[in-house]
Chain A
Amino acid sequence: MEMRQVLCECLDQMMAENENIVVIDADLAKPNGTFPLRKKYPERAIDVGIAEQNMASVAAGMSSYGFIPFITSFTPFASRRICDQIAISIAYAKQNVKIIGSDPGISAEFNGGTHMSMEDVGVLRSIPELVIYEPVDTAQFKQALPQIAAYRGPVYIRMFRKTIDDVFTSPDYRFDLFKADCIQTGEAVTIFCSGLMVQETMKANEILRQEGISAEIINIHTIKPIDRGAVVQSAKKTGAVVVAENHNVIGGLTSAVCEVLMEEYPVPLRAVGVKDRFGQVGKMPFLKEEYHMTAQDVVSAVKEVLKLKK
């Protein structure tokens, strides 16, 4: 199932149960999967047109009335385009708005550089009191959305839009918005990963396992506030860290992990992600190669960091 389908189905269910939930699109309801909602909820699923700033502030106004607006766009337009509206209308004013940006990082594919947000997490992470969440797969996203709706405060959701491999396949999987997910315990190195780099890390894990390298794999789905305990505990255990993210390595998960570890427990660290470059058009296999974000790149980073480990 596509992630946007999960979004639509969860919103549908939540809107049925909670009359305060509203969805506001800015002419991207079709690509984001929220379009069907307006048939069932013509008053609570609305479109402001191509006017993202207005979308964000209208949502803040509705929140002041007790509504819980979910606003949607592509990541660049749901972050850098409306940075001030997120900062002032929403976060500073303490409004309960959920911001959904789709197609994070390189995943915008043929929409190319203008539509690729290498910086959205970095831009938004420095806005106080804003929660930043990046789903991994449909199973996690299904559990996350009701928790995000129940949480009182602004949340930015960095959603991969289409079909992505399942990672959390166990029926026993329980998601907690503010707790990192340990996917695999290990001894030699910790890989902190987010978004589509979780799937790449899982592929890398197969290679590492064959080479006898035991990796601890932790999904940091909520980049802010980061689960400091999970980061420090694992770094203490393995003594070496790789961070893998679909974002500029400046400002995103790498920075967030470094901020914690430099304060609490410095260890050698290597980053896999976009190395301060803009995006470009291409399909995912090309883009992953081009930006050195393949499973093999994760493996190489692990080997580099192991050399540095004391």
Chain B
Amino acid sequence: MEDLKQICADVRADVVTTIGTLGVGHIGGSLSIVDLLVVLYEKHMNIDPKNPNMEGRDRLVVSKGHSGPAVYAMLAHKGFFDKSWLLTLNRSGTNLPSHCDMNRTPGVDMTTGSLGQGFSCAMGVALASKLRGDGATVYTIIGDGESQEGQIWEAAMFGAQKKLDNVIAFTDYNNMQIDGDVSDICDIADLGAKWRAFGWHTIELQNGHDLAAIDAAIVQAKQADKPSMIILKTVKGKGVRFIEEMGFANHSIPMTKEQMEAAIAEIRGE
């Protein structure tokens, strides 16, 4: 796990560089899923960066599409494209837009950004994989605020009905959304009970940044005979104190060069 910790630091630093170089971006929700992405890409996903459309590959649908910068840093780390691409985030004509776009970015499996839809798409991908019989696992990440979308629960019923045991989903549960804390705006608690009631194999991690715990939860989810939801209690903006301390205001923030450099130094433990 020490190796993975180092990779997490590298990816976090790249997320900060990506957004800091542009000067603005969705930093909070990007930093909160870095640990999950690292465990997925380093330990679980069957993918080939040289052949991003490889048949039978595992898929990842990041339904909270605004976490694009974290996905891009991870994909660049894996070699899907050159790291220099990260500095093009949201620049004119870029292949790295704010929200994930399967037609622009190698390694992105689904276009997302309109919340709730990606999760449904992931159910379609999982059903398709079962029809093909290719043995792929479909990973998908939703937000806690996104869980207020009705479509999430339409898809939840569908996944259970179709016994999509090849789906391993994650909720990035940092309890923050743009207008405030999720529990203050429209609470989703008890989230674990909700997913269990919807027929999903549900695992709740009190520390959604614990690499070993995330890994163990995925190993366990792979054994389930129904779709799995792993709820990760996370910290929005994880890894950079001034961003964490902003609370829900860190959804999308401007960032100066000085802030960027200080944040990277903090991540690197300097």
Give the B-binding residues of A (Cβ under 8 A): 22, 43-44, 46, 48-49, 51, 53-54, 56-67, 69, 84-85, 87-89, 92-94
Q: Tell me if B125 and A57 are in contact (CB < 8 A).
A: no
Closest 8 pairs (CB-CB, A-B): A61-B124, A57-B120, A65-B128, A58-B124, A54-B154, A93-B111, A61-B121, A51-B154
In the assembled complex, the Cα of A66 lies from the Cα of B131 at a distance in Å of 11
Q: Which of B69-77, B102-110, B244-252 faces chain A? A: B102-110
- For B110, the chain A residues whose CB sits under 8 A away are 60-61, 64, 93
B205 within 8 A of A: no
Whether A54 contacts B128 by the Cβ 8 Å rule is no
Contact check, A61 vs B131: say whether CB atoms are below 8 A apart: no
Instruction: Give complex CA distance A64, B129 in Å.
Output: 10
Q: Is the CB of B117 within 8 A of A44?
A: no
Interface residue B113 (Cβ < 8 Å from any Cβ of A): yes
Q: A44-B131, A64-B128 are in contact. Are A58 and B155 (CB under 8 A)?
A: yes
Give the CA-CA distance A73 to B154 in the complex, in Å.
16
- Least distance between A206 CB and chain B CB atoms (Å): 49
Q: Across the two chains, which residue of chain B brings its CB closest to A65?
A: B128
Which of B102, B119, B120, B155 has the most chain A CB atoms closer than 10 A to its own CB?
A: B120
For chain B, the bracket of interface size reads 20 to 34
Q: In the complex, what distance in Å separates the CA atom of A49 from the CA atom of B155?
A: 11
Which residues from B are CB-within-8-Å of A43?
Answer: 131
Docked CA distance A53–B127 (Å) = 16
A67 to B158, CA, bound (A): 18
Beyond A46-B127, A53-B116, A63-B124, list 14 extra A-B contacts (CB 8 Å). A48-B158, A51-B154, A53-B154, A60-B120, A61-B110, A61-B120, A61-B122, A61-B125, A61-B128, A64-B102, A64-B121, A65-B129, A65-B131, A89-B120
The verdict on B91 contacting chain A, using a C-beta distance below 8 Å, is no
- Minimum Cβ distance to chain A for residue B204 (Å): 25
Nearest CB in chain B: distance from A141 CB, A: 27
Residue B123 CB within 8 A of the other chain: yes
Chain A CB within 10 Å — which of B111, B126, B129 has the most? B111
User: Which one of B103, B121, B154 lies within 8 Å of A60 (CB-CB)?
Assistant: B121
* Measured CA separation A51–B155 after assembly (Å): 8
A22 / chain B contacts, CB cutoff of 8 Å: 131
Residue of A nearest to B114 (CB): A88
Whether, in the assembled complex, B188 has its beta carbon less than 8 Å from a beta carbon of chain A, the answer is no
Which of A58, A60, A63, A65 lies in contact with B158, CB distance below 8 A? A58
Residues of B within 8 A of A62 (CB): 124-125, 127-128
Of the residues A46, A63, A88, contact of B117 by C-beta under 8 Å: A88
Where the two chains meet, the residues of B that have a C-beta atom closer than 8 Å to any C-beta of A are 61, 102-103, 109-111, 113-114, 116-129, 131-132, 150-151, 154-155, 157-158, 161-162
Taking a contact as CB atoms closer than 8 A, the residue among A51, A56, A89, A94 that contacts B157 in the complex is A51
A51, A65, A69 interface centre (most CB from chain B within 10 Å): A65
Could you pull out 13 A-B pairs where Cβ atoms are within 8 angstroms? A49-B157, A53-B151, A54-B154, A56-B120, A58-B158, A59-B124, A60-B120, A62-B128, A63-B124, A64-B121, A65-B132, A88-B114, A89-B114
Whether B114 and A60, one on each chain, are in contact in the complex, defined by CB atoms closer than 8 angstroms, is no
The distance from the CB of B111 to the nearest CB of chain A, in whole angstroms, is 4
Task: Name the residue in A54, A58, A59, A94 with the highest tally of chain B Cβ atoms < 10 Å from its Cβ.
Answer: A54
Given A61-B127, A94-B103, CB of A53 within 8 Å of CB of B150: yes
CB pair B129 A93 closer than 8 Å: no
Q: Which residues of the partner chain A approach B118 to less than 8 Å between Cβ atoms? A: 57
Give the contacting residue for B109; candidates A51, A64, A88; CB below 8 A: A64
Residues of A within 8 A of B127 (CB): 46, 58, 61-62
Given contacts A53-B150, A94-B103, is CB(A64)–CB(B125) below 8 Å? yes
Question: Contacts A59-B124, A93-B102 given: A85-B131 contact, CB under 8 Å?
Answer: no
* Given contact pairs A53-B151, A57-B155, A61-B127, A85 touches B117 in the complex (Cβ within 8 A): yes
Check B111 against A92 for contact (C-beta < 8 Å).
yes
Chain A residue contacts of B123, Cβ below 8 A: 54, 57-58, 61
Assembled-state Cα–Cα distance A67/B117 (Å) = 18
Supposing A58-B158, A64-B110, A93-B111 touch, asked if A53 and B103 sit within 8 A by C-beta, the answer is no
When the two chains form their complex, are residues A58 and B131 in contact, meaning their CB atoms are under 8 A apart? Answer: no
Q: Which A residue's beta carbon lies closest to that of B150?
A: A53
Distance of A56 Cα from B155 Cα, bound (Å):
11
